[in-house]
Structure 1
Amino acid sequence: MKVGDTIVSSPEASIASGNALPPTKIPLGTVIHNVEIIPGNGGRLGRAAGAAAKMVAKEGRLATPRLPSGEVRLIPQSCLATVGRVGNIDINSEGSGKAGSKRWLGKRPRVRGVAMNPVDHPHGGGEGKTPIGRKNPSTPWGCVALGTRSRRKTKYSNPFIICRRKSS
């Protein structure tokens, strides 16, 4: 997009970057962003800098985009999605420069659990560089920190997720 371009949000809009239209009008393989989950509620998916989803399939009243996380899910065909990719792709490759820049954004220093006392963290205590001393790393509140799924098993939107994102 460039200055002076007209952006349209309607079912009759052309398939040009920045236009918002329902999945019924978007061809398969098109890059999209700002995807609604519930019609009329506004875009919820694919809004971060440089993010882009891709329209994979359309069947009946549901469309299937592949989201930036790798998740494939169903959305109603009456939802809107914006054609194109979100700008500012290189934001993650920039460094902050100094600690003060992060502080201005409200980010505070993060102390490692092993550097704390046992009263403050499950990893704390011991003489010198001691290991964690537990089966798995844990949060300050004692919950398993790495690799545990935290999504509710009974969440209402589970049937709409075809393929979960790949956990790293």
Structure 2
Amino acid sequence: GAIAKLIEKEGKSATLKLPSGEVLLISKNWLGKRPVVRGVVINSVDHPHRGGEGRAPIGRKKPTTHWGYPALERRSRKRNKYSDNLILRRRSK
């Protein structure tokens, strides 16, 4: 999603609450993310969901990343990631 609630600002960090319920501690210097272009509208040489005439379907069993790996239904976050200590409360399922 594109929404997060700013709960608290303290020093160089800020606390955010995401729609999933997860609470994060982030740097106040992180101003935002770059826009993301959908794979369906990218040229066929640049993405597996590419091309076709009009609004063609993906043409694969499941959506994929730029590199052909599954994009959904697969955990992609590394265990013991350096930023684990910045997650103050995990999302509830």
Q: TM-score, normalised by structure 1?
A: 0.30
Q: Which structure is larger by alpha-carbon Rg, 1 or 2?
A: 1
The higher-RCO structure (CA 8 Å, 6+ apart) is 2
